[in-house]
Amino acid sequence: MPIEKFITLTSTCVPLPIENVDTDQIVPARFLKATTREGFGENLFRDWRYDKSGKPRQDFVLNNGRHTGQILLTGKNFGSGSSREHAAWAIKDFGFKVVVSSFFADIFRNNSLNNGLLTVQVSEEFLARLFESVEADPSTRVKVDLENQEISVLPDGPREKFDINSYKKNCLLNGYDDIDYLMSMRDEIMEWEKKME
């Protein structure tokens, strides 16, 4: 089952300049009770986004109407904590295609890439400049170019190269899925099992 391809994206950004955003904030545990992958976007950042009566909190960035876009900008160590893939599903389901931070938790990064949600790790300095540009002008457009591994502020703002392992990059560019690949290896795996016995 091919995943959605990612090649380039140009979009405005939603800034969330908070550090150590854990997956319990991205989607609280009490919303993990579904048995399918759909619909988690509704509960993205649930307890920051809504008050306890379920009313949107106007001071939260997803509600204030000032910022929209498909790129989420976040403080360092994003996605720490629980391994729940629901966090990546929620971000994607909400409509984000890229998350930019200066540092990602490992499991979150894997989960995101496995769902075609690109995590772009940039330097602290570049992240600070991104926040500055986007907060000063919410219509600022940012381009994420996976092929060239570059993120840039349009039209001629700062730009930076980012790392991604070439296997994952290739998967995203072509929509390849790890599970398909591993299933195609079943015979090879069985051979290996025999050898190891």
Partner 1 sequence: MTKTIFDKIWDRHVVKSIPDGPDVLYIDRHFIHEVTSPQAFGGLRQRNAEVFHPEKTIATADHNVPTIDQHLTIHEELSRVQVEKLKTNCLENDIELYGLNHPYNGIVHVIGPELGITQPGMTIVCGDSHTSTHGAFGSIAFGIGTSEVEMVLASQCLMQPKPKSMRINVEGVLQEGVTSKDIILYIISQISTGGATGYFVEYAGSAIRNLSMEARMTICNMSIEMGARGGLIAPDETTFEYIRGREYAPAGSEWQKKVEFWRALPSDPGAEFDKELHFDAAGIEPMITYGTNPGMGTGISGMIPSLEEIDNASRNSFLKSLEYMDFYPGEKMIGKKVDYVFMGSCTNGRIEDLRSFSSFVKGKKKAEDVIEWIVPGSKQVEKQAEEEGIKQALEAAGFEMRQPGCSACLAMNEDKIPEGKYAVSTSNRNFEGRQGPGARTMLASPLTAAATAITGRVTDPRTFL
Determine the Cα–Cα distance for residues 45 and 179; give it in Å rounded to an integer.
29
**Residue whose CB is less far from partner 1, 154 or 191:** 191
**Residue whose CB is less far from partner 1, 23 or 152:** 23
**Residue whose CB is less far from partner 1, 154 or 161:** 161
Tracing tokens 């570059």 back to the chain, one arrives at: 150
DSSP assignment, residue 124?
H
Q: Point out which residues bind partner 1 (CB under 8 A).
A: 1, 17-20, 22, 24-25, 28-30, 32-37, 47, 52, 75-77, 80-86, 88, 103-107, 110-111, 114-115, 124, 128, 165-168, 178-183, 185-186, 188-189, 192-193, 196
Q: What is the 3-state secondary structure (H, E, C) of 37-78?
A: CCCHHHHCCHHHHECCCCCECCCCCCCCCCCCCCEEEECCCE
Determine the Cα–Cα distance for residues 27 and 44; give it in Å rounded to an integer.
5
**Residue whose CB is less far from partner 1, 74 or 152:** 74
| 3-state class (DSSP) for residue 34 | coil
Shortest Cβ 140–partner 1 spacing (Å): 21
Tracing tokens 């960035």 back to the chain, one arrives at: 61
**Residue whose CB is less far from partner 1, 74 or 133:** 74
Shortest Cβ 143–partner 1 spacing (Å): 26
Pure H helices in 78-177 = 86-94, 106-113, 124-136, 166-174
Assigned token pair, 42: 């509704």
Shortest Cβ 148–partner 1 spacing (Å): 17
Determine the Cα–Cα distance for residues 179 and 23; give it in Å rounded to an integer.
24
Shortest Cβ 156–partner 1 spacing (Å): 27
**Residue whose CB is less far from partner 1, 20 or 149:** 20
Shortest Cβ 102–partner 1 spacing (Å): 10
Length of the chain: 197
Shortest Cβ 7–partner 1 spacing (Å): 19
